[in-house]
Amino acid sequence: MNYTPQGRCLLWPIWSVNLGAEATVSTVAFPFFAVLATLLMSASDSSVLIRVGHSPDPDDAFMFHALANDKINTGRYRFTHELQDIETLNRRALKGELELTAVSLHGYAYVTDKYALCSCGASMGDNYGPMVVTRAPCSIGDLKGKTIAVPGTLTTAFLALKLLLGDSFKYEVHPFDEILNIVAAGKADAGLIIHEGQLTYGNQGLHLVVDLGCWWHDETGLPLPLGGNAIRRDLGATAMREVTALLKQSIQYGLDHRVEALKHAEQYGRDLDHERTDKFVGMYVNDWTIDFGERGRQAVALLLDRAYQAKIIPNPVQLEFI
């Protein structure tokens, strides 16, 4: 059987040699599909996997909505998402496990050799932030000698508490979403609360002792930089910039499509109704999240410098923003 015109049209872009009159569709079709499969596999192999770690809370869900739900073109990058509490992510960052990860600014002090900070993705407490709550009203001075339930020793909340109280308190580490119940049950004298607990502690009759974001603002005039996103250095400079740009695009998408992104975020709002989810997201996804800005960078530098001066972190931190 002679090689058909249809076959020639199919194969000509790949083979430019004279196949001769005896060539048949069956003898050339197999090589074509083999080459096509190879090309497709090669294209697949050229994609870059970016494992993303972030907290299962409304503000992170809002930020990552576009990346998690294929709302933007990510080009050669393929994103997978791993949702874990921030202290677990801080610990994983010590081992460099994820290419892109949410990280506490306190935790970041220990991983600067492995990660740079993304210039976007910040969670800033602008005259608000983590809180210490108790069952009965008391003062900051009353916390000395007391046992405080904390969400992790690498959280920025814990760092701020250490800057406020020094070593004058005892602490126990508990999952962040259990601390309100632990305090309400009398299993700890006080609780250091983060995330949506800042809006819901009153539901359990607990009392605010200190808002660490307010305290920091009174001390410095700056917002309290709680968390950011860190990108692994071994991706190389180009990929670090490109992935950070995609993260910024995802954040901007959420801000531009607020109703849609908020609907996605609401599934992570423990004990938050729509109104309070909206409020919480607004607290931590805003202009600071698009870019730290000059004041944000100043706040990070000052926080980590004070941590070093107080001997809470072992080394001074040279900041690099991507």
* Strands 224-232 vs 123-125: parallel, antiparallel or unpaired: antiparallel
Task: State the sign of the Cα–Cα–Cα–Cα dihedral 84, 86, 90, 91.
Answer: negative
- Phi and psi angles of residue 309, each rounded to the nearest 5 degrees, phi first: -60, -30
Q: How far apart are CA 123 and CA 105, in angstroms?
A: 10
- The strand ranges marked E within the chain are 48-54, 77-83, 100-104, 115-117, 123-125, 131-134, 147-150, 170-173, 190-193, 207-211, 224-232
Contact 113, 121 (CB under 8 A): no
Q: Which residue has the tokens 């497709």?
A: 40
CA-based R_g, the chain, Å: 26
Enclosing H/E stretch for 245: helix 237-256
Calculated CA dihedral for residues 267, 270, 271, 277, nearest 10 degrees: -60
The set of residues, in sequence order, having a beta carbon less than 8 Å from that of 105 and lying 6+ positions away, is 156, 159, 225, 226, 227, 228, 300, 303, 304
The residue among 194, 37, 10 whose CA lies nearest residue 102 is 194
Active site residues: 195
